[in-house]
Structure 1
Amino acid sequence: MSRRRLLIVAGAVVSVIALAYVAGYVLTGQRLPADTSIAGVDVGGQSPDEAEETLEQGLAERSKEPIRATFDDRDFEIEPTQAGLAVDVAASVRAAGGRSWDPRDMVALVAGGSDHDPVLDVDETKLAAAVASVAETVDQPVVEAQITFPDAKPKARAPKAGNEVPQDEFAEAIQDAWLTQDEPVEVPVEAVAPAVDRAGLRQAIRDIARPAVAAPVKLQVGDATIDLPVTAYAPALAVVVKDGAMTPVIDAKDLAKPLTSSTTGIGRSAVDASFRFEGGKAFVVPGKAGVGLDPKTMATQLVPVLTKTGDARSITVEASAVQPEFTTEDAKALGIKERISSFTTEYPHADYRNTNQAEAARRIDGVVLEPGETFSFNDIVGERTAANGFVSGFVINGGVFREELGGGVSQVATTAYNAAFFGGLDDVEHHPHAFYIDRYPVGREATIYYGSLDLRFRNPYKTGVVIHAWVDKSAPGTVGRMNVEMYGTKVYEVKSRSSDRYNFRNPGTQYDDTDRCVSQAPVTGFDIDIHRDFYQGGKRVKTEKDTAYYQAADRVICGKKPEKDD
């Protein structure tokens, strides 16, 4: 065969292959491969438009079904729409067999395709909120080692490991399971170890705590030498975990009073300006200068010598005029004039509620928020410990009631949240309880847990805001009342409205044979939307929306789970 003829034949073959290749490319855009399915919906051999219609119909009911998740004996249901999950139908069809130059896709038109996962359209904000709602129930906060000094003697709190849900991993598992789920998603949990273990705590007791309260600290003030007794600084002293190690710290505010008390005989305390409240108005109570030792300077100088002995256990200080931290001029400049909101909640009689709520209310009463300043419940109230005046009561922990120090304090947070809500303050952080407690306003309540869950709100105004909080204590046969008022300069009239409850979740049953068990009636879970409307001159000027997600609360039966009959 001549060279010319060979070239003609070869060219013809190449042309045929090219035409077939182009034809294959065109065909891949006209129909999907045989035996192709998406999330189990058969779309094989269909045109893209037909496949989209088939997929929409095939997933219509399944896409509404809740995603089931489980942790230990607890079950959770996550509504797809509330979790921001939707199917991108067009993208799913394209991914399963759109127009392609890949020869394997062309062969698949005849040989057959495979099952494909759907392409999802995900609202990351909604998904994160749904994941956080479950994590709040499952997470167990780590307890760090700590030493306090009630009665001027070391009292140790042992460290305890916690656990937490890796929320990004859980969110990915939810997306993977949706529409293809046969079994519930296992909620992933990671152990969280305390930064300092029991051995580190024992070492801190030996090397820091015991030496710190072993003897007075000598103060050289001018020509006088004075012993600062252990009882004067011990209430302000704690040994806490800082940067991974046990470290002594002294709270200057807690130190201020004993520095000028009769225990030292040095000077008199400065008195901050404050407010008194009468007839819906706020009035400035002038502050007073003092004479004595500056608490901040003293706190800084004391810490390094607490582990010293002999002559090294002394510091040189100067007595001077001590100005209030919050002066009369500061108070007047804030423009605080009138009550801008108030809220009251009631509680059934319990001595622990009277004690804990009164202590928390005392600590937030009189707190001033300057323009732009953010209130933190945990920062102001502090850890709920016996040394801080709190007693044991019931709290929600891990989705069930447990007895812990500070029970009932969430009612103070809930009341403060509502006062801030109707005062128009910015909601920075709040967490509804894991399940709904019917003495609180539905969708407008806040739980707190020191170290993990906080209540924070910000003053958005050009003038200051001061909090007035108090408790009308309960007695046998009568309810108690928790009261919070906000004073400032009124800018808005704030109103609340809510949706109907939806996405109901059914409770299950748990058995608990530990000595910590508290029997518990079941509570149905649900979602509810809360709208906050701001009015000026009778006209609504803006609206904010928040959704509260309540998990179902299982029935808790104290005792061992009955064995199933064979």
Structure 2
Amino acid sequence: MMTIIAAFIVWFSQVIVQNEVIVTFDGQQVASAQKSDFTVPLLEEQIIDTRNYTQFIKRINEKIYQKPLNATINDQGSIVPGKVGIQLHQEKFKEQFYRHFFENSTTQIEAPVVEIHPKVDTELLANIRTHKIGQYVTYFNQNKKARAHNISLAGEAINNHVVFPGETFSFNEVVGKRTKEKGYLPAPEIVKGELTEGIGGGICQISSTLFNAVDRAGVKILERYSHSKRVPYVPPGRDATVSWYGPDFTFKNSLNQPLLIQSKTQNGQVIIEIYSSDIVENRNE
């Protein structure tokens, strides 16, 4: 009897190994695997290995995922429409996978997808660009090329960002880590009261300008730290130092409408404007 059982298991494994799961998207193969990779062999029934199945799903989604793009405002003041993204529709895929998995033949599945709509579309952007509720301007030396470059990069990172009612804005989260790979350059910065050189030096002028702009808009400031040494581009006590491994600048949109951050650097100026709908109200008032 044991010999028969052993022979059956060997035969079963050989049959399964010959059967593939092939996943296609838009007519192109994006993933494939042997059915045996997902099978836990038992005597009475076949059980799918959920851990391997989950990893398989992850690989598929990485191949077909397309990030949605928010609508933006270009340098000419025109609205550039956003773009709908897509991701794997996991429930529909699971239905197809389980329905065909136990067939003794190669299974081909066209990956079902679900659309991911951008948070900021043309209609929303058109509505919240109508009323300026805050603005601040600071100045920098254009001849300090590395610092000016870093200021421009950080300014681009926050430009067109929309903060919805009740949401918290984090400068570090939105701008991301300042690295050489992202184009940031070594430039002077203040660390523990001393002027030193570090990657991304100068970006605190963006966070400080933003702080003054949103403070005038009436939002709730959650986290802000001053430099250990006075900076020349804002009055004393009106700066907001940031560091990837240290201080952050955060605020909460306490308004009843989304707010739009518009940031630009030109002719040695950092200009940050805050817009919202013309029916905006402060919930804290």
SS of the aligned residue for 1:362 comes to helix
Counterpart amino acid of residue 485 in structure 1: E
Distance 1:283 1:460 in 2: 28
Percent identity (aligned) = 25
Q: Is the 8 A contact 1:220 1:317 kept in 2?
A: yes
Give TM-score, length-normalised by structure 2. 0.63
Partner of 1:481: 269
CA distance in 2 between counterparts of 1:267 and 1:444 reads 42
Match of 1:224 among 4, 12, 28: 28
CA distance in 2, matches of 1:283, 1:488: 17
- 1:346 is matched with 139
* Match among 241, 245, 252 for residue 458 of structure 1: 252
* Counterpart contact for 2:89–2:113, Cα < 8 Å: no
- 2:154 is paired with a residue whose SS is helix
Asked if 1:424 is matched to 2:205, the reply is: no
Whether contact under 8 Å (1:273, 1:324) holds in the other structure is no
Aligned match of 2:82: 287
The 2-side partners of 1:285 and 1:396 are apart by 38
- Deviations 1:527-561, CA, capped at 9 Å, x for gaps: xxxxxxx9xxxxxx98xxxxxxxxxxxxxxxxxxx
After superposition, the Cα gap between the structure-2 partners of 1:295 and 1:387, relative to the gap in structure 1 and judged at 3 Å, is: farther
Gap runs ≥5 in structure 2:
1-21, 32-60, 91-108
Q: Which residue of 1 aligns with 2:235?
A: 441
Tell me what 2:118 maps to: 325
From the CA coordinates, give the structure whose radius of gyration is larger: 1
CA deviation map 1:141-200 (0-9, x unaligned): xxxxxxxxxxxxxxxxxxxxxxxxxxxxxxxxxxxxxxxxxxxxxxxxxxxxxxxxxxxx
Write the distance in 2 (CA, Å) between the matches of 1:331 and 1:387: 33
Give the letter for the 2:179 counterpart. Answer: T
Cα distance in 2 for partners of 1:408, 1:296 equals 44
Q: How many angstroms apart in 2 are the aligned matches of 1:326 and 1:220? A: 30
Distance (Å, rounded) in 1 between the aligned partners of 2:75 and 2:273 = 10
CA distance in 2, matches of 1:428, 1:441: 20
Q: How does 1:108-187 map to 2 (within 5 A)?
A: none
Cα distance in 1, alignment partners of residues 146 and 112 from structure 2 = 42
Report if aligned partners of 1:336, 1:463 keep a CA contact under 8 Å in 2.
Answer: no
Change (3 A) 1:333 1:440: closer
Counterpart CA distance in 1 for 2:89 and 2:188 is: 37
In 2, the alpha carbon distance for the partners of 1:470 and 1:327 equals 20
| Structure 1 pair 422–490 and aligned structure 2 pair: CA distance change class (3 A) | farther
> Given the superposition, is the C-alpha separation of residues 350 and 295 from structure 1 closer, same or farther in structure 2, using an over 3 Å criterion?
farther
1:139 is matched with which residue?
Answer: none
Asked if the contact 1:431/1:453 (under 8 Å) is kept, the reply is: yes
Cα separation, 1, equivalents of 2:169 and 2:68:
24
Return the alpha-carbon distance in structure 2 between the equivalents of residues 330 and 268 of structure 1: 22
| Counterpart in the other structure of 2:46 | none
The CA deviation string for residues 432-461 of structure 1, in whole angstroms up to 9 with x for no partner, is 111112332222111111122011111111
**Where do 4+ consecutive residues of structure 1 move more than 6 Å?**
266-269
SS at match of 2:136: strand
Q: Distance in 1 between matches of 2:273 and 2:244?
A: 23
Q: Does the 8 Å CA contact 1:287/1:326 hold for their aligned counterparts?
A: no
- In the superposition, the TM-score normalised over structure 1's length comes to 0.34
Alignment match, 2:8: none
Please say which of residues 444-453 and 408-417 is displaced more in the overlay. 444-453
Deviations 1:124-151 (A, max 9, x none): xxxxxxxxxxxxxxxxxxxxxxxxxxxx
Aligned length: 214
Name the SS of the counterpart of 1:418 in structure 2: helix
Return the alpha-carbon distance in structure 2 between the equivalents of residues 296 and 411 of structure 1. 43
Structure 2 CA distance for partners of 1:443 and 1:269, relative to 1, 3 Å: closer
Structure 2 CA distance for partners of 1:398 and 1:358, relative to 1, 3 Å: same
User: Cα–Cα, structure 1 residues 268 and 413, in superposed 2: closer, same or farther, change >3 Å?
Assistant: closer
Go from structure 1 to structure 2 and tell me whether the alpha carbon gap of 1:427 and 1:267 turns closer, same or farther (over 3 Å shift): closer
Q: How far has the Cα of 1:356 moved from its partner?
A: 0.6
| Residues 19-38 of structure 1: per-residue CA shift (max 9 Å, x gap) | xxxxxxxxxxxxxxxxxxxx
> Aligned partners of 1:332 and 1:399: how far apart in 2?
41
Q: What SS does the aligned partner of 1:294 have? A: strand
What CA distance in whole angstroms lies between the structure 1 residues aligned with 2:231 and 2:121? 42
